[in-house]
A = this chain, B = another copy of it.
Amino acid sequence: MSTEISPLAPKSYPDMPVIEGVRFATAAAGIKYKGRTDVLLVLMDEGTEVAGVFTRSLCPSAPVDWCRANLAHGKARALLVNSGNANAFTGKKGKAAVELSAEIVSKAVGCAAPEIYLASTGVIGEPLPAEKFAGVIDGLVSQAATGSWLETAKAIMTTDTFPKVSTRTVDLGGVAVTLNGIAKGAGMIAPDMATMLSFLFTDAPIAASVLQALVSEAVGGSFNAITVDSDTSTSDTALLFATGKAASRGAPMISDIEDPRLAGFRVALGDVMLELAQHIVRDGEGARKFVEVRVEGATSDVSAKRIALSIANSPLVKTAIAGEDANWGRVVMAVGKAGEPADRDRLAIWFGDVRVAVEGERDPGYSEAAASAVMKQQDIVIRVNLGLGEGTSRVWTCDLTKAYVEINGDYRS
């Protein structure tokens, strides 16, 4: 497996402010390998509210089942993340392992077990040795501090080649509140390791029900609008924690999703989630090109998104991009196979600013040289106008390279 940093990695990272009420620490519990950092514990002060979204897989991991059930009460005191073992497809032993993990942490923290959130990535089908957490949790609780977010983002990396962080500070009722996010993920999935996880933290005082509405609203255009390889992990998890500590500085408690004072935070959450999602694509296994697919003129937004994902998931489109080939015939193919309303004779396609096809034919002014110049860029926009309605969608993907096959063909060995 390559350890080279993705050529699409960001050139610099933002300064990540402290989030009052959030402390963290990492340790090596020996889940799979000895001496490797494999556990992150995040502690949150009393009063922290939480919301989340999870994989749509019908075979979710035991930690996903656990978190989903706990979101009902919307309270959180700690988040435990481990790598090395996904605790997925582990049956009753998996359920016992999450219960033991939560018990160990809740005792050390001094809270109820359902206030502990869990996320695991790593090998599927092997029982998680949760008893190993017992040896490190007390130490983590006492060491937990408002340390480096970038180092924390590095600690949850697995096949990732760079850490993924994003931050915004916005106004909430006249008071500055901060939102920090970290993420990991490099295949849209790889059940062995590359599950997508994202954890977002804010000091804003926002009720769990409002957090849930916000995160559900933002996920469609961010984490659910990216694809590396069309595969979906059994463990994908995004959690948003709000400590509410900004209330002591005068920030208003927000308990209604319609509250107009939420406007800035809403935009910030969408931005942070989209930025993290795009970082995951930029770290896509073997990726050399970052691709935005824009579909316009569809009969609805839902239809536009299905067509956009059909293009973004097509191996033939993705290999053409890898080969810097302005092969718009494959885009037509992907539109056609999406099963959504499309009229060949109204379709127009652009690579970057170069219109390559219009009204059911090759653009009369088509220039292979101009289209090829677009394909040589690192960031490429493919735009399709269906000419049928007002539906639009944007999704992001990367190219399909030999390195992807290499990484995923050699993974377990």
Contact = CB atoms under 8 A, between A and B. Distances in A.
Contact of A360 (B89, B325, B401): B89
B90 A360 contact: yes
A89 B345 CA distance: 8
Interface string A318-331: 01101101011110
Nearest to A410: B323
Contacts of A123: 329
A191 B401 CA distance: 19
Contacts of A314: 230-231
Contacts of A88: 329, 332
Interface in A68-104: 86, 88-94
A240 B87 CA distance: 52
Given A315-B315, A316-B231, A402-B406, A332 B362 contact: no
Contacts of A345: 91-92
A107 interface: no
Nearest to A338: B58
A232 B409 contact: no
A304 interface: no
Interface residues of A, number: 74
B362 A126 contact: yes
A315 B233 CA distance: 13
A59 interface: yes
Q: Which of A58, A88, A92, A313 has the most CB of B within 10 A?
A: A58
A336 B402 contact: no
A233 B334 CA distance: 9
A-B pairs, top 10 by smallest CB distance, nearest first, are A124-B329, A323-B409, A91-B360, A59-B336, A57-B336, A319-B408, A232-B337, A191-B329, A402-B402, A229-B315
16 contacts: A58-B335, A59-B333, A59-B336, A86-B329, A89-B347, A89-B361, A89-B362, A91-B361, A92-B360, A125-B361, A127-B361, A191-B316, A232-B337, A316-B408, A323-B411, A327-B411
